[in-house]
Chain A
Amino acid sequence: MITQGSSQTGTALLYVPGNSFIHRMNPLTKLVGLLWLAATTFMLPPGGMATIFVATFLFGVLAGAGKAFIKRLILTLGPFAIFLFVIHGVLIERHDTIQHEWISFSPEGAQYMLKILVRVAALLAASMLFVTTTHPANLLKALDSHGVPPGIAYLIASPLLLLEPFSARARAIRDAQQARGLDLTGSWKARVKAFPALLIPLVTLALSDLDHRATVLDGRAFRARPFRVVLDAPVDRPYERWLRRALLIAIPLQIGVLLWL
């Protein structure tokens, strides 16, 4: 259960190339900013959360990622808003529920639904601003240049590099099995049977590469030194370092205030 129902819409990167102010910021500053925004959304009233949403959305548009933002927001928030409205606005009975013939509506429920919706929208927009303006390779360089051990850097970088070849391999296995008569559109029994026929070859092939990959890594002595040296590390301006420190202090303070109130 990765997301308890993520849309599972392929594996292509959401990153949108560009040279905007947000693109040029150090990835770690953006990451800390995202964490701070996430902590802040839980403290603010719906109006404040809506402001964060609008601000991050506008920054996204200015960064040239407006299309990606709109697509993702519609795909994620569309069904989400419908179910939230039906459950909280219509189905759950509250003291202010208004019954009109066969349909009921609760203004308080709709208000609660709006609160959840703008919070998720703000969190989603903030995450989108980070992922559309930060290439994973740059994030990795930023982590490396701040002394992250090579083993951890490998665990983050390698899956990002393997995703596309593995997706292509899975598609090739699907096509080959379908050519041999595998039915992906039949009864649920046929589809349950089809699942291992697609999965097992993919996993077996992936694991058969394991020894080779490990030998190559060891051959390169990739963990011979505790830290990797980055030749073209992302620029880290002094004001960004101060901003990160300030936000890192603010996050636990905000959480503390939230728990006390």
Chain B
Amino acid sequence: MKFDTRTLVLMAIAIVINIVVGQIAVWVKLPLYVDAVGTVLVAILAGPLAGAVTGVLTNVIWGLVSDPTAMAFFPVSLVIGLLAGYLAKLGWFRNIGMTVVSGIVIGIISTLVAIPIIVYMFGGVTGAGTDFATTFLVSVGQELLKSVAIANLTTNLADKILTCVIAWVIASRMPNRFTASFPFYQHSAS
């Protein structure tokens, strides 16, 4: 599949948004990543394949410029892009209620993809705030896999709901002139 030039530019901008939004989350000191806003936005506007490519390239480029461990999590971003695109196709980004449900679905499934990477590649540790929760759960007798799952699911659900809502707000507030040139957006237009 060949993307048109506008979609290519949208994807490039979305990759940068993903990386810079991570920086904003650090400024406001929120324990969230919110670094898939661009991926979900592309998925809503241009479809699952464009979303998946945006997600994978975000991890590769982040890995190249500042944090090589980011590359290990590219399957998570790929799944987020694909899922957001398919849910958009089903009309799950038409209103705020459905968008929140989409965030829950994406949060659960992306956590399922992330858990084996965290547990088997990194021994259950990510180097982020969720490690405190994982450590606490292990200390009260939970198994490592369960602890990682609970700690990451909790953070990830809030993170992906917020991500989807932000992407939906941005897409729905863009002028018709802008969204009209993305035919896939008709699945999400209210």
Which A residues lie at the B interface, using CB under 8 A?
A: 1-14, 72, 76, 79-80, 83-84, 86-88, 91-92, 112-113, 116-117, 119-120, 123-124, 127-128, 130-131, 136, 139, 151, 154-156, 158-160, 162-163, 166-167, 170, 174, 184-185, 188, 191-192, 194-196, 198-200, 202-204, 206-207, 209-211, 213-214, 217-218, 223
Contact = CB atoms under 8 A, between A and B. Distances in A.
A127 to B, nearest CB: 3
Given A11-B19, A156-B61, A184-B28, A5 B130 contact: yes
B9 interface: yes
B16 A206 contact: yes
Residue among A6, A151, A184 facing the most chain B CB atoms (10 A cut-off)? A6
A91 B27 contact: no
Given A2-B70, A155-B8, A167 B122 contact: no
B6 A9 contact: no
A87 B127 contact: no
Given A11-B19, A83-B131, A210-B10, A4 B170 contact: no
Given A127-B63, A198-B24, A199-B166, A7 B127 contact: yes
Interface in B7-48: 8-13, 15-30, 33-37, 41
Interface in B86-131: 110, 114, 117-118, 121-131
Contacts, number: 239
Contacts of B169: 196, 200
Interface residues of B: mostly helix, strand, loop or mixed? Answer: helix
A202 B41 CA distance: 14
Contact of B27 (A87, A92, A198): A198
A91 B177 CA distance: 58
A191 B174 CA distance: 25
16 contacts: A1-B159, A2-B36, A3-B126, A4-B76, A4-B126, A7-B67, A8-B22, A86-B135, A87-B144, A91-B139, A120-B69, A136-B65, A184-B29, A198-B27, A202-B24, A203-B37
A127 B170 contact: no
Secondary structure class of chain A's binding surface, majority of residues: helix
Interface string B66-87: 1111111100110010000000
B188 interface: no
A79 B77 CA distance: 24
B70 A79 contact: no
Given A191-B30, A199-B21, A2 B77 contact: yes
B64 A131 contact: yes
Given A1-B114, A2-B59, A174-B27, A214 B19 contact: no
A88 B125 CA distance: 10
B125 A80 contact: yes
A155 B23 contact: no
Nearest to A80: B127
B184 interface: no
Nearest to A6: B67
A116 B34 CA distance: 28
A138 B73 CA distance: 25
B107 to A, nearest CB: 9
B12 A155 contact: yes
B57 interface: yes
Contacts of A91: 135, 138-139
B66 to A, nearest CB: 6
Contacts of A3: 59, 62, 67, 69-70, 72-73, 126
B67 to A, nearest CB: 4
A21 B21 CA distance: 37
Contact of A1 (B33, B66, B68, B125): B33
Q: Which of B16, B18, B122 gathers the greatest number of chain A CB atoms within 10 Å?
A: B16
Contact of A159 (B6, B16, B110, B117): B16
Contact of B28 (A7, A191, A211): A191
Closest 7 CB pairs of A and B: A5-B128, A127-B68, A116-B123, A5-B126, A158-B12, A159-B15, A3-B70
B65 to A, nearest CB: 5
